[in-house]
Structure 1
Amino acid sequence: MSGKKKVTSTDIARAAGVSQSTVSMVLNRKYNVSFSKETVEKVEKAARELGYVLPKRKLRRESRGEKLLVVFCSNLTNPYYVMLLQGIESRAKEQGYGLFVCNTQRDLKMEERYLKMMKSLKPLGIIYTCNPSHCFMDTVEKLAEEIPVVIVNNQNERLNVDAVELDNSKLGRIMAKHLLDLGHKKVAYIAPPLTVRQKQRSKRVEGFLKEFEKAGLKDQVVIRAAAEELDQDVAHIDSEYLIGYELTKELLEERTEVTAIVGLNDMIAFGILDALQEAKLKVPGDISVMGCDNTLFARMHKVSLTTIEHFVIFKGRDACDIIMKKIASQRTKYYDIDPISTYHVEYEPKLIQRGTTSYPRRAKK
């Protein structure tokens, strides 16, 4: 045995003429504390001369810190996005990944700012919980050439990236079929702003209208969408609820004699329910109400909202699984060729009939 003593940070501190804590911070690259160039060079020179090797556990901690996924969300006030995030987070946690959530609030400047941060963040994957804004499609596709990107998107959007798809048109058709099967002819559809940027919303309404058109009743559907300016405001916890509440009050004042009111999502449907209750109208006795997304509140007994289940939490898990598969395939060479694959996953939506829909007043059995 040579009996050679292991070099410690205290030995380097003595040789460099600085404190032991300074040595520790310099050698472990703790740059949040500033040191002069001379001090850094003095410490590094002493370390080299003494043959000091950085402890392995420090390196392991650094590599663990690199296991990061980024999630872009457009609105965290709607339980739909929280459910997606829950699905992503549960799978990411299982695989030892951390999440960095970018809540863009449907603001183009915020989205651009977050996209610019990706170079410094260096995530191993990016998940968009909705379609990227059109002006950033090229940026996202370029990012996808370097790291795995998955979008939980509206089907029919032409995107050259992996996707967990949602056919919003199909959701609208299922909602319409349910009401038509019950005998509803004159109905209202309440939605957030139907802007070009929010194409997925319009697809849901279009699907609904197509079914009523098939039945020769398209002109019996009253569409009420919130003003476009609403999408420019920061979303509050009750933003979508208030859309349902206020537009239903306007609808009742117009005396349109509808027998059913549909909310584009569950949050809007809750607003519809409260406005009807305030007007002393019974649900479903006087007016049927329907939502979409099957969020937690829709399942509560006092609400018991008829809605559409499209397996949101599963979609979040699948989006994360696709990222993991892409990361694994990047590490595996196939005859020195990088494997290129595109994944597309889609769930069949399901009607969940509860207590807020029934036959219309005059057709009640």
Structure 2
Amino acid sequence: MKKKVTSTDIAKAAGVSQSTVSMVLNKKYNVSFSRETIDKVEHAAKELGYVPPKRKTKKGVKKEKLLVVFCSNLTNPYYVMLLQGIELRAKEQGFGLFVCNTQRDLRMEERYLKMMWELRPLGIIYTCNPSHCFMELVTELAQKIPVAIVNNQNEKMDVDAVELDNSKLGRIMAKHLLDLGHRRVAYIAPPLTARQKQRSKRVEGFLKEYEKAGLKANVIIKAAKEEIDLNVAHIDSEYKIGFDLTQELLKERSGITAIVGLNDMIAFGILDALHEAKLRVPSDMSVMGCDNTLFARMHKVDLTTIEHFVIFKGRDACDIIMKKIASHTSPYSDIEPISTYHVEYEPQLIVRGTTGYAKESGKREKKGKN
């Protein structure tokens, strides 16, 4: 009878300690190992024909069907709507959710990702693009655990995605304002860093439309400083970006007739700053947001915004995970299928009471809000 290969055998072959072998083979990444050490251990295990022991489970204990959701910011209703869509579908299928709120902190994101090897959920959903420095780790996870991402279109990823064309959202916003005669406008955004490409794409789409009209130089882009993303997000973080940067704009006396917020939360801050400055919306200044969150629909707010079916995207990301789980448990043949799903919704402009004709256009203005 062939002798069973142990971790001690692998340690001798790899020239490392038995505890190192144990931690590497069990994916205990709370201790850092060099890529060379990991490769040596894995190579020795393979050469010796090591078979991992089957984990014992207590009889009568049913394992929870668990999905993990990575969120970057739970203070923005956009992410709450995505979660709602995911949870509705997960509940129907008897799954529980474990939410990892990374707060856009790279250390938190890495910590949660490394926990996945031990937690072993049945699926992982990212509600935003993973940080680029962890894409290799996410791709590695996706080989063992079904992963779906609600991501910015044109990002190159080797995992399943529900795509959002952020550039198109920006173009729709710009077209609406140009149709109303707004020739000098401002766009207020959170930090436009390399890590947050979805934000930049939205701004780029907006600028593209104004460039086509020969008015790109008339667009003022005001983005918050990068350190805002490095701090833990407060409930009013994005609202404050809109409020504070609007106050700066008004001091500059730029002659703008419309201000756009990258999302609804920023637009709410813009509206309050204009109210404090005793400027009427939309007679003195038009305002737009994006995401069509619950508060945008409230009568006193009445925000013009973009609907891009956020809850549906959450539901579809969950559907992708369910399909991937099914393909794992009911294989068509001895070969594991590799499948990629791409879902995209056509965004729609929702015109409400915060946008009207620009004063200089000579067209009849809508009645201003107090």
Shorter-chain TM-score: which interval?
0.7 to 0.9
Q: Would you say the 8 A contact 2:82–2:310 is kept in 1?
A: yes
* SS of equivalent residue, structure 1 residue 222: strand
TM-score, normalised to structure 1's length?
0.83
Distance 2:76 2:59 in 1: 40
Aligned to 1:149: 147
1:271 is the counterpart of 2:269: yes
Aligned to 1:174: 172
Distance 2:60 2:250 in 1: 64
- The code of the aligned residue for 1:207 comes to G
* SS of equivalent residue, structure 1 residue 197: coil
* SS of equivalent residue, structure 2 residue 155: coil
Q: Would you say the 8 A contact 2:180–2:356 is kept in 1?
A: yes
Aligned to 1:311: 309
Distance 1:115 1:324 in 2: 20
Distance 1:315 1:60 in 2: 37
Max radius of gyration: which structure?
Answer: 1
Aligned to 2:131: 133
Aligned to 1:261: 259
Aligned to 1:226: 224
What stretches of structure 2 of length at least 5 have no aligned partner?
1-57, 365-370
Aligned to 1:200: 198
Distance 2:94 2:359 in 1: 55
Counterparts of 1:1-365 in structure 2, within 5 Å, are 59=59, 61-63=61-63, 65=64, 67-363=65-361, 364-365=363-364
Aligned to 1:29: none
The CA deviation at 1:147 is 1.1
- The code of the aligned residue for 2:136 comes to D
Aligned to 1:21: none
Of all paired residues, the percent bearing the same amino acid is: 80
The CA deviation at 1:59 is 4.2
The CA deviation at 1:333 is 2.1
Per-residue deviation, residues 313-358 of structure 1 (Å, max 9, x unmatched): 0000000000000100112222322122110100000000000001
RMSD: 0.9
* SS of equivalent residue, structure 1 residue 146: coil
The CA deviation at 1:60 is 5.2
Per-residue deviation, residues 255-281 of structure 1 (Å, max 9, x unmatched): 001000000000000000000000000
Distance 2:161 2:223 in 1: 28
Per-residue deviation, residues 219-276 of structure 1 (Å, max 9, x unmatched): 0000000011111000000000000000000000000010000000000000000000
* SS of equivalent residue, structure 1 residue 160: coil
Distance 1:262 1:134 in 2: 28
More helix by share: 1
- The code of the aligned residue for 1:241 comes to Y
The CA deviation at 1:119 is 1.2
Distance 2:60 2:279 in 1: 63
- The code of the aligned residue for 2:251 comes to E
Per-residue deviation, residues 109-163 of structure 1 (Å, max 9, x unmatched): 0000000100111100000000000100000001011111000000010000000
Out of 327-336 and 196-205, give the one that drifted further.
327-336
Q: Would you say the 8 A contact 2:120–2:145 is kept in 1?
A: no
- The code of the aligned residue for 1:330 comes to H
- The code of the aligned residue for 1:176 comes to A
Per-residue deviation, residues 146-197 of structure 1 (Å, max 9, x unmatched): 1110000000100000000000000000000000011110000000000110
Aligned to 1:30: none
- The code of the aligned residue for 1:206 comes to E
- Number of equivalenced pairs: 306
Distance 2:60 2:187 in 1: 55
- The code of the aligned residue for 2:240 comes to L
* SS of equivalent residue, structure 1 residue 69: strand
- The code of the aligned residue for 2:113 comes to L
Distance 1:106 1:150 in 2: 18
What stretches of structure 1 of length at least 5 have no aligned partner?
1-57
* SS of equivalent residue, structure 2 residue 299: coil
